[in-house]
Amino acid sequence: MLRYELLHPGMIGALAAAGHGSRVLLADANYPHSTGAPRGAARVHLNLRPGLLNVDQVLEVLLDAVPVEQAAVMVPGGVAGDVVAAGEEIPAHAGYRAMLGPDAGWQELDRFAFYDAARSDDVALVVATGDQRVYANLLLTIGVRTPPG
């Protein structure tokens, strides 16, 4: 029996196989889940219906299971017709920062730079969510476990 909140067998297996520097993509409902990450990345589909589950809910459980040293988010990059203006605060991001705390690094990438990072061979796990907020994608870099003592 596990002692932490994460119970999903696919996620546990993918995280156990990942290590320091591996990445985890928590993707919103608009993200191209099948083509927006490397073929070898494990994929877990938690997008049961629009709005369920959201990235915050997955992040909350994931933070109990693995240390996170870096987070990257997608921000507007001057794309015509974008629903969020460049420089405008994105509500989902404030919540992520609060959950991650001050020790996790923070990186903002425009849409195409984010896609490039999410397609890198370092991505070990993609979690598809039903999150419908704009720019709710979150790319996490796994950190190191602190030795006991």
Kindly state which CATH superfamily the domain 20-142 is placed in: RbsD-like domain (3.40.1650.10)
20-32 burial, b for 16+ CB within 10 Å, e for fewer?
A: eebbbbbbbbebe
Consecutive 10-residue runs of the chain (149 residues): their mean pLDDT? 81 94 97 95 95 96 95 81 68 95 95 96 97 96 85
Domain ranges of the chain: 20-142
Q: Whole-structure pTM over 0.75, yes or no?
A: yes
Q: Pairing mode, if any, of strands 138-142 and 68-75?
A: antiparallel
Question: Which residues does 71 contact at the CB level (< 8 Å), separation at least 6?
Answer: 96, 100, 104, 105, 106, 107, 138, 139, 140, 141
CA angle 32/76/126 to nearest 5° reads 30
